[in-house]
Every structure is written in structure tokens, then in C-alpha cells.
Structure 1
Amino acid sequence: MSEPHLDHRKGLLITGIGGLILSVDIPLLRLGQGETWSTLLLRSGTTFICALIIWAVWSMATGRVKTILPGRIGFAVAGLYGLGSIFFMIAVYNTSTANLVFILAFNTVFAALLSWIFLKERPKTATFVAMFFMLIGVGIIVREGLSSGHLFGNIIALMSTFFLASAITVTRASKKDMGFAAIIGTVLPMTVAIFMVSQHGFSVAAPGWIIFNGAVVTTIAFACLATGPRFLSGPEVAMFYLLETVLAPIWVWLVFAERPSDPTLLGGIIIITTLVSHSIWQMHSARKRSRMAAFRHPV
């Protein structure tokens, strides 16, 4: 098997693990029963400390100091992940879980558009069609926010998605190892949270859930998802955030009995159906191109 195919499979495995683990992020945040900024401080602080420990152990085990952030581009990526984390946390406390994760699925559209504009990776016609239907789905969810009082949270969720897609695009363009960038990016939300908590006080009823989330869930998930763009295109990496879109509402429904509203379910079904169909089409096209390449260049 050729090196590009091996890299692609490696990227699928790493990013898939990250997306699966990330699906329990929101339920753990809800279980912590904390105020927004206190939760953000505890989650970000724990993730940052774990990143430093992993970096130290890695460096000692390999006998060489691993670069945490590769130059200014690394700081830019970390900053984008940090902004995304801040807006994500605000959205968690200002809209329903279903609204949030379905809007986060819009990440694929932003990633495709940004890759087209900045990397000249023009989306295919099928991707444009998928983006159109996703716009309809997100529009239904945002419109539902007008009547449910979740409009602010829905808009903040969209902004979080944009920052995330931007980080993926910049990582893809740099072709550098950004495995630590998303984790180190927690410094920004941690700094903002420290200021806010100093003004209003610290309040988390069950900190154990948040500490576990920051130490294990977000640390592993962020590292895997930030590594993915080295091997996969931006839209492909964004697709793996769909695991959170599909699974998080199920975990919340089971734990908190929070049933999504009918408009949210409709919008979510449109988004998921579109993305699954598009993913199947992409895999079919990739296999077809691989067979054609093998036919033209026999071993």
C-alpha cells in the first residue's frame, strides 16, 4: 500500500478516535453543574496542566525536546482553538445541547469554504449541494432559537464553529504538527476565565466531572483532532466532529431527559442525512480514483 494511502488511513483512525471521545464533552460539562466561567477555568486549566505533563514525559522518553508550537503559525492556530473554546463554552450555557451540536456540524461547510478561498481546494458540485441543504438545516435550528430564546446561544455556536474551521484550515495549509496547538490554546480561555472568576467568584458543584473532562476527554480529543489535518483535508477532518453531533444529544437525552424540540430534530436530521450521504459519496469517489490509478499504473 502506498504511503499516501497509509497516511490517509492513519488520519482517519486518529481523527475518528478524537471525534468519538469528544462526544462525551458536553454531558460531562452539564454534570459538573457549574457556572460558565468557573467551568471554563477548571476545564481549560486541567487540560493545560495535562498538556505540560505529556510534553515533559514525551521529551524525556524520546531524549529530545518536542516543539510545542511550530513558530508564529502555531500560535495563530492555538489562538483560533482558544477562541473557539470560549465561544463553545458560552454556547453550552445559552442554547440546548441538540442546537449546539447540530450547529457545530456546520463546521464542514466553513472548512470547505475556507479551503476553497485560501487553499484553492475548490469543492466539488456534490459538496456545494450538501452545503446548500446544511444551510437549510442550520437555518431551521437558528429560526427555532427566535421563539425558544436560544438565538444568542445559536449565533455564538456558529461563531465557535467558524473559529474551529479556521484552525483546521490554517493547520492544513501549514502542513506542520499541531498536535499540541489545540491543547495549548486553552491558555486563552483560561486567562479570560481567571479574570471573570476573580470578579464573580468560583462556582462548580461537582468539580470531579470537569477535572476528568479536562484531564482525559478534551486532552486526548483535542490532540487527535488537531493532528488530523496533517493527513486529511479540512472538510474530512470536520466530518469527524459529526460523531459529537450524533452522539452528544443521545447522551444528554439519556442522562438529563432533555428531548430536542421538533424544529431542532428536523434541522438536525437534514444536516446529518446530508453529511452522511456526502461522506458515502466521498468514500465511493476515493475508491474509484484509487482503482483508476491502479489501472493506469500497474505494478
Structure 2
Amino acid sequence: MSQLHLDHRKGLLITGLGGLILTADIPLLRLGEGETWSTLLLRSATTFISAFLIWLIWSLATGKWRPIVPGAVGYVVAGLYGLTSITFMIAVYNTKTANLVFILALNTVFSALLSWIFLKERPKPATFAAMFFMLVGVSIIVREGLSSGHLFGDLVALLSTFILSSAITVSRASGKDMGFAAIIGTALPMAVAAFMVAQNGYSVAVPGWIIFNGAVVTTLAFLCLATGPKFISGPEVAMFYLLETVLTPIWVWMIFAERPSDPTLVGGLIIITALVCHSLWQMYHSRRIARLGALRHPV
């Protein structure tokens, strides 16, 4: 097996693990029972400290002082991930969990479009078809948000998704490992949250959940998901964020008995169906190309 295939498998494994870990993020934020900016401050601070400790231990163990931020582009990526954290947290407290995670599924659409525009990686017709149905699903959810008073939160979730896709695209274009840069980007939301808390006061009822989230869940998820673009394409990385789309509403439903509204369920079902069909098509297409390659170049 070629090094290219090995790297691709490594990227899928690392990114898949990060996507799975990330599904615990929103339930832990909700369990903390805190105010938006106080929660963001505690989460960002613990993530920042954990990332620095991991980098320090890693460097001492290997004897190589790996750069935390790989060049100027690393600061761009860190800033984008920082903005994503801020908008994501605002969305968490201003719309329903199901609305948020289904809208986050548009990450794949934005990533595909940005890769097409800036990296010249033109999406296939099947990808365009999946994008169309996903946009229909998100439109249903946003329309429901308009009628239920969650429009602001839904729009912030859309903004968060676009910024995240931009971060993935820039990481992919650089070809560098942005794992630590993404986590160091939490310095931006930490500074903004500290300013807001200084103005309005601090309020987190159960800080243990937020500390665990920042120190373990967010740190590991960001590290894995931000490393993915070094090995696999932006749209592929974005697909693993969709584990949150599928699993998080289930965890929230089980823990908080927060049932998604019927329009949200319809929109979410359309999104998930489009994604599953597109993923199955990608698997079939990749295997078909591999078989054709083996026939043309027999050993």
C-alpha cells in the first residue's frame, strides 16, 4: 500500500476519533448551567492550559520543540478557530441544540465550495446534489427558528459553520499540521470572554463539567480535527463534524428530555439522508476507481 493511502487512512482515523469525541461538547456545556461568557471563559482557559501542557510534555518526551503555531498562516488558522468558538458558544445559548447541530452540517457544503474556489478541487455532481438537499433541510430549520424566536441563534450557527469551513480550507491549503494552532486559538475567545465577565460578573453553577469539557473533550477533539486536513481533503474533514449532527441531539434528548420540533426533525432527516447517500456514493466511487486502477496496472 502506498504512503498516500496510508496517510489517507491515518487522516480518516484521527479525524473520526475527533468527531466522535466532539459529540460530548454541547451536553457538557449544558450540564455546567452557566452564563454564556462565563462558560466560554472557563472552557477556553482550560483548553488553552491543557494544550500547552500536552505540547510541553510532547516536546520534552521527544526532544524536539515542535512549533505551536506553524508560521503566519498558523495565526490565521488560530484566529479563525477562535472566532468559531465565540460564535458557537453564542449559538449554543440562543437556539435549540438540534437546530445548531443540523445547521453545523452545512460545514460540508461550505468546505466543498471554498475548496472549489480557492484550492481548485471541483465538487462532483453527486456532491452538488447532496448540497442542494442539505440546503433545503437547513432552510426548513431556519424557517422554524424564525417562527419560534430562535432566528438569531440559527444565523449565528450559520456564521460559525462558515468560519469553521474557512479554517479547514486554510489548513488544507497550507499542508501543515494545525493541531496545536487550533487549540491555541482559544486565546481569542478567552480574552473576549474575560472582558465580558469583568463587565457582567461570573456565573457557572457546576464548573466541573466545563473544566472536564475544556481540559479533555475540546482539547482532544480540536487536536484531532485540526490535524485531519494535513492528510485528507476539507470536505472529508467536514464530514466527520457530522457525527455531532447525528449523535448530539440524541444525547441531549436523553439527558435533558429536549425533543426537537417536528420541522427540525424533518429538516434534520433530509440533511442526514443526503449525507448518508453521498457518503455511500463516495465509498462506491473510490472502490470503483481503485478496481479500475488495479486492472490497468496489474502486479
Superposed pair shares fold, TM > 0.5: yes
What corresponds to 2:174 in structure 1? Answer: 174
Aligned residue pairs: how many? 299
Letter in 1 for 2:243: L
What corresponds to 1:264 in structure 2? Answer: 264
Q: How does 1:120-269 map to 2 (within 5 A)?
A: 120-269=120-269
Tell whether 2:278 aligns with 1:274.
Answer: no
What corresponds to 1:100 in structure 2? Answer: 100
Tell whether 2:1 aligns with 1:37.
Answer: no
Q: For the aligned residues, what is the CA RMSD? A: 0.6
Q: CA separation in 1, counterparts of 2:55 and 2:234?
A: 26
What corresponds to 1:16 in structure 2? Answer: 16
| Runs of 4+ in structure 1 over 4 Å off | none
State the secondary structure of the residue aligned to 1:198. Answer: helix
What corresponds to 1:297 in structure 2? Answer: 297
Q: CA separation in 1, counterparts of 2:174 and 2:256?
A: 41
Q: CA separation in 1, counterparts of 2:293 and 2:180?
A: 35
Work out the percentage of aligned pairs sharing the same amino acid: 78
Q: CA separation in 2, counterparts of 1:163 and 1:18?
A: 18
CA displacement 1:64-97 (0-9 Å, x = unmatched): 1011111110000010111011000000000000
1:2 to partner: Cα distance? 1.2
State the secondary structure of the residue aligned to 1:43. Answer: helix
Q: CA separation in 2, counterparts of 1:293 and 1:7?
A: 19
Letter in 2 for 1:178: M
CA displacement 1:21-75 (0-9 Å, x = unmatched): 0001000000000000000000000000001100110110011101111111000
State the secondary structure of the residue aligned to 1:168. Answer: helix
Letter in 2 for 1:202: Y
Letter in 2 for 1:152: F
1:293 to partner: Cα distance? 1.4
Q: CA separation in 2, counterparts of 1:260 and 1:182?
A: 31
Q: CA separation in 2, counterparts of 1:112 and 1:21?
A: 23
Q: How does 1:1-80 map to 2 (within 5 A)?
A: 1-80=1-80
1:241 to partner: Cα distance? 0.7
What corresponds to 1:115 in structure 2? Answer: 115
Letter in 2 for 1:3: Q
CA displacement 1:140-159 (0-9 Å, x = unmatched): 00000111100000000000
1:182 to partner: Cα distance? 1.4
Letter in 2 for 1:274: A
1:231 to partner: Cα distance? 1.0
CA displacement 1:210-245 (0-9 Å, x = unmatched): 000000000000000001111111111000011100
1:3 to partner: Cα distance? 1.1
Unpaired segments ≥5 residues, structure 2: none
TM-score between both structures, scaled by the size of structure 2: 0.99
Q: CA separation in 2, counterparts of 1:2 and 1:297?
A: 14
Q: CA separation in 2, counterparts of 1:41 and 1:290?
A: 48
Letter in 2 for 1:20: L
Letter in 1 for 2:189: P
Letter in 2 for 1:4: L
State the secondary structure of the residue aligned to 1:53. Answer: helix
Q: CA separation in 2, counterparts of 1:267 and 1:228?
A: 28
Q: CA separation in 2, counterparts of 1:4 and 1:137?
A: 35
Q: CA separation in 1, counterparts of 2:74 and 2:50?
A: 19
Q: CA separation in 1, counterparts of 2:193 and 2:153?
A: 18
Unpaired segments ≥5 residues, structure 1: none
Letter in 2 for 1:49: I
